Amino acid sequence: MRVLITGGAGYVGSICTEELITAGHEVVILDDFRTGHPAAVHPAAQFVEGDFANAAIVRDVFRRASIDTVMHFAGETLVAKSMTDPQSYFDVNVKGGIEFLKVLLEHRIKVLIFSSTAAVYGEPLEIPITETHVKKPINAYGESKLIFERILEWYGHAYGLKYAALRYFNAAGASSVYGEDHNPETHLLPCILNSFESGHEFVIHGADYDTPDGTCVRDYVHVVDIAQAHILAMGALLRGKTGGAYNIGSSKGYSVREVLSAVEEVTGRKLRVRIGPRRKGDPAVLVASHEKLVRELVWKPRFSELRSIVRSAWEWRQSHPSGYHTVEPRLASRGM
C-alpha cells in the first residue's frame, strides 16, 4: 500500500510514517516545514516539500506516484494562537482542507484518515468522553477541526469518501528515532523536560481544581499507540468499514502532579515547582472513552502506561538534547 502523508515531518506524522514503513507500506510525505523538521523525515519515504493546500503541488504528487490512501496530519494546531488569529486556522484547516479534498476526489481517493482532536468537544459534560458527547469547541482550533470533520461526513454521503477522524486526547512520548520538538512548546511533558534544561521553575497553572490533588487531569496516550490506531483505521476502511470518528486515549487520567512525580521517578532528578494562576479555558478533567476504537478497530494501547510514556520521551530527549536542530536530515528521496 502506498500512503500519502501530509505533515510527515511533524510529531505524530513522522512516527506514523515510521510505523507504516516498518509494517511494509510505502510512504510519500508532503510537508512544507512550517512546523515540521527535515531531520524528522524518514529516509525510506519519498519526500515532496510543499503545502497540502497547493493544488498544483498535490496534483503533481499524484501524477508521479500511484497513491492508494491518504493520512492528513498537516495543519494549524496551537490552541492559544487560534484565539488571537482564528483566520489562519480557518484558512489552513478548513479552506486549505477543501482544496486538498478537491484533488483527492479528482484522483478517486476513497479512503482518508484525518488527524482530529479532543478539542472538538469543548468543556466536558460527562467523563469519560464518548464520541457522541456534544460538540461545542471553546477555541478556533477545535472549531476548525470540527468543521472539517463535518465536511468529510458530507463528502462521504455525496462522493463515497470513507474517512476516519481520529480525535487525539494528549499525544505524548517518542519512538526510539522520532520525538516531540515544537516551537513554541505547549505540551505538558516536553515543557517539564525543558524546565530541566533551562533551570527555571516549572509552573503548575492552578492547583485548586475539583480533582484529587487540585491539579488538572488529562488522558495521555503514547504516540506509537496513536500511529497504530491510524494503521488499523486505514485497514478497516480499505476492507469496507464505514468509519467515522474515534477517540484516541488511554481511558485513564493523570493529574499534573502525577506526571511531575513520574518524571522525577524516571529521570532521578528533582523539579523546582511553583503554583501559578489558572489558565483560561482549562477544564478540570479530560478523559476519553476509547471503547469504540477498541470494539470496532481492535485497538489495544501497548505503551500508554504513564512511566513508559515518560521514559520514551526522556530517552529521546537525552539523545536529542537540542531536538532536531542539531540532527542532520536523512532524506533518501526528495521531489520524487
* Residue-wise pLDDT tens digits, 210-268: 999 999 999 999 999 999 999 999 999 999 998 999 999 999 999 999 999 999 999 99
* Residue-wise pLDDT tens digits, 89-108: 999 999 999 999 999 999 99
What is the model's pLDDT at position 333?
55
Its pTM stands at 0.94
How would you classify the pairing of strands 285-286 and 253-255?
A: unpaired
Preceding amide of 128 cis, omega within 30: yes
What is the model's pLDDT at position 327?
61
Buried b / exposed e along 22-37 (16+ C-beta atoms within 10 A) = eeebbbbbbbbeebbb
279 vs 83, higher pLDDT: 83
Residue 37 CB partners (closer than 8 Å, separation 6+)? 9, 10, 181, 323, 324, 327
What is the model's pLDDT at position 279?
81
CA distance 69 to 111: 5
CA distance 204 to 74: 30
Over residues 146-168, mean pLDDT = 98
Identify the CATH number of the domain in which residue 235 sits. Answer: 3.40.50.720
209 vs 79, higher pLDDT: 209
What is the model's pLDDT at position 197?
78
Residue 326, pLDDT above cutoff 70: no
C-alpha neighbours within 13 Å on the C-beta side of residue 16: 32
Q: 37 is in which domain, residue-wise?
A: 2-334
Q: Which of 11, 89, 121, 141 is catalytic?
A: 141
- Nearest Cα neighbor of 166 from 203, 132, 232, 115 is 115
What is the model's pLDDT at position 61?
97
Percent of the chain with pLDDT over 90: 87
Whether 155 is catalytic: no
Q: How far is CA 175 from the centre of its chain?
A: 14
Domains in the chain: how many in total? 1
Q: What does residue 163 show for φ and ψ, rounded to 5 degrees?
A: -140, 155
Confidence grade of residue 330 (pLDDT, cut at 50, 70, 90)? low
- Nearest Cα neighbor of 93 from 109, 111, 74, 78 is 74
